Amino acid sequence: MNVKRISPLLKLLLLLLLVLSATVYVQIQAAPLLDSAQDIESADIVIALVNSLESPLTLDAEFDVQAARDAYDALTAAQKELVSNYALLLEAEDSIFRQYGRVHDMFIMIDTITCPVSLIDKDDVIAARERYELLDEAQKARVTNYSTLVDAEVMIFNLEKVAFDVVDLINAFPAMVTMAQMPQVQAARVAYTRLNNRQKALVSNYNKLVEAEAKIVDCLIALDMTNRIDDLPNEFVSGNYQVIVSINQDLSNLTPAQYEKVDTGLLAKLSVQYAAALNYEAANSVIELLASLPESVSTTNIQQVQVARTAYNALTTQQAQLVPSELVNRLAQLELSLNTPNNDSPSSLWVWVASGVTSVLAVTGYIFRQPLTLAFKKVFKKQ
C-alpha cells in the first residue's frame, strides 16, 4: 500500500497508538525502579540503626541492638540483601550475649560463697572481687547479688580484725614483762583463746605471748619463794627444820630467770637458816646416839660408845655447841670406865682390852668384828 495514500485520519490513529504504547512501556519500566527506591530507604534505616550502636558496646545498648534486630527482621528478603552492615549487627548481638554470660558467671561465683562466711572463704571472696572488678559498669549493674559479695567482704574484714586486735594486744607488751603486766597478758590470752584456728593463724606474734606468759610464771614462782622465805622467823627454830630444807630444795630447782627475781636479802636469810638447819641435823644425829648410850659399858656395847665418840668428834665447833653438855659428859664417863681397868676383875680387864681392839676395828672398817666378839664371849663364859 502506498503510504502517501494513507488518509490523515489513519495517520492520527497510528500516532495515538504509538504514544499509548510508549506510555505503557514507560510505566512498566518505571514500576521496578520505584520499588527499588523504597527497599533502599528501608534498608538504609536498618543500616543507620546498626551504625548508631555505641562502641565499645556495653549492655546499656542492648535495647538499641534489639531495635536494630527488630527493624532488620521486618525487612523483605530483597531489602535485607541491601543491609550492608548486617555482620556488625551479628557481632553486636554476640557481644551482648557474651557480656551477659560474664554477668551470669559472676552471679554464680558470688552465690557459691558459703553462709555464714568464715576465713576459709577468704580466697573465694577475693577471687570474686577480682572478677567483679574486671566487669564494666553496665555489667556490674546487672550483678543482682552484689550485696552478698560486699557482706562477705565485711565479714572477712571483721573476722580478721578480731585476730589483728589480739596482735595489737600482744604488741603492747613492754620489753620487760613483770607482775604489773599480768592482767594485760591474761587479757591477751583470753582473746586469743576465743579465736578459731584460722584466726589464730593470723596472730603472727603468738610466740611473744607465750614468752610473756613464761615470764609471768617466773615472777609468780619467784614471788612464792620470796613469801616462803619471808615468812620464816629471823632466827632458826628447830621446828622449822623440814620447812627450811624444803624451801632450799625448791630454790635449787628454780631456773636462772626465776632465781634472779628472788630478793637477794631473803636469799641471804635462807642461806643462814639452811646452814643452821644443817648444823641442827648433824647435832641432832649425835644427840640421838648419845642419848641411846647404855648406863655402863659391856662387851656388847663397846662399839656403840666408840661410834658415838667418832660422830661427836666429826662435828664442827658450831654443831658441837648444840649438843647438851650432860650428854657429852656421860660419853666421857663411859670412855673413862673403858680406859680404867679393874685388876681385881678379870672381866673388867677383858672389857678394857676389848675396848682397845674395838677402837682399832672401828678405824679399819670393823674387819673380823664378829669372830673376835664371839671369841671374847667364849672367854667370859669360861670365867
Are 138 and 164 spatial neighbours (Cβ–Cβ below 8 Å)? Answer: no
Are 96 and 62 spatial neighbours (Cβ–Cβ below 8 Å)? Answer: yes
Output the pLDDT for position 296. 85
Q: Over the chain (383 residues), what is each successive 10-residue block's mean pLDDT?
A: 58 66 53 70 95 94 96 95 96 97 97 92 96 97 97 96 97 94 96 96 96 95 95 91 95 94 93 93 92 86 89 92 92 83 47 48 40 38 37
Q: Reduce the secondary structure of the chain to three states and give it as a string.
A: CCHHHCCHHHHHHHHHHHHHHHHHHHHHHHHHHHHHHHHHHHHHHHHHHHHCCCCCCCHHHHHHHHHHHHHHHCCCHHHHHCCCCHHHHHHHHHHHHHHHHHHHHHHHHHHCCCCCCCHHHHHHHHHHHHHHHCCCHHHHHCCCCHHHHHHHHHHHHHHHHHHHHHHHHHHCCCCCCCHHHHHHHHHHHHHHHCCCHHHHCCCCCHHHHHHHHHHHHHHHHHHHHHHHHHCCCCCCCHHHHHHHHHHHHHHHCCCHHHHCCCCHHHHHHHHHHHHHHHHHHHHHHHHHHHHCCCCCCCCCCHHHHHHHHHHHHCCCHHHHCCCCHHHHHHHHHHHHHHHCCCCCCHHHHHHHHHHHHHHHHHHCCCCCHHHHHHHHHHHHHHC
Q: In this structure, how many other beta carbons lie within 10 angstroms of the beta carbon of residue 257? A: 14
Output the pLDDT for position 35. 52
pTM score of the predicted model: 0.61
Name the grid cell of 193.
583463746
The residue whose grid cell reads 673403858 is: 338
Residue type for position 378:
K
**What is the four-CA torsion angle of 29, 30, 36, 37, rounded to 10 degrees?**
160
